Amino acid sequence: MKFSQKPQNRFEKQGYRLVGRHSAIKICTWTKQSLRDKDVCYKEQFYGIACHRCVQMSCTLKNCQNKCVHCWRDLTCTDKGRIINADRPKVIIDGCIQKQRKILQGFKGSETANLKKFHEAMNPSQFAISLTGEATLYPYLSEMIRSLKKKKINSGIDFINEIERNVIIAE
């Protein structure tokens, strides 16, 4: 499922950077704050995860089966189904890292940015796979998590076998 121009423009106006056919990143407020040495998110405060090295992403930008009334995301272009012809994890991971690096370039020339953190941010150590959409609708989720682990990138998801078992049951 390729993005049509109208939803693509809407997502980009909201700060998303599209990756492949169904994924995206968006720079987190805490990443920006950390790069400016102003503040950090709970993941850094409680778990020691450097939030300036975190990629906030979705492998299912438009896919969610719920449409919850309390959801703060744009539900006008939500697709309830599984992703067909899904991008492979390598395409998504490499694409997300590339887009993250590109969008962070503005910090390089900023007087308020910590350049040491900026250079560290070019090599992410964390993928937050919860930007939007329902990640379990991505058919290669467990493969993506394994690929991240091989690259020494944390996803916060440690129960891959349980995810695989639940996805099979849900089908």
The encoded tokens of residue 142 equal 């467990």
48: left (phi over 0), alpha (psi -120 to 50) or beta: left
More confident residue, 3 or 130: 130
Question: How far apart are the C-alpha atoms of 160 and 17, rounded to whole Å?
Answer: 27
pLDDT at 170: 43
* pLDDT tens track for 4-47: 666 678 888 888 899 999 999 999 999 999 999 999 999 889 98
Q: CATH classification of 5-170 is 3.40.1780.10, yes or no?
A: no
Most trustworthy range by pLDDT among 129-133, 146-150, 155-159, 164-168: 146-150
Question: How far apart are the C-alpha atoms of 22 and 20, rounded to whole Å?
Answer: 6
Q: Give the gyration radius of the chain's Cα atoms.
A: 16
The encoded tokens of residue 24 equal 């995206």
Is residue 166 predicted with pLDDT exceeding 60?
no
For the residues of 46-58, what is the DSSP string, one character each?
HH---GGGEEEEE
pLDDT at 37: 96
User: How deeply is 93 buried, as exposed, middle or buried, from its count of CB atoms within 10 A (0-12, 13-18, 19+)?
Assistant: buried
More confident residue, 79 or 19: 19
Q: Return the residue matching tokens 């300036």.
A: 52
**23-25 and 54-58 strand pairing:** antiparallel
- CA-wise closest residue to 43 among 154, 139, 160: 154
* pLDDT tens track for 106-117: 999 899 999 999
Is residue 169 predicted with pLDDT exceeding 50?
no
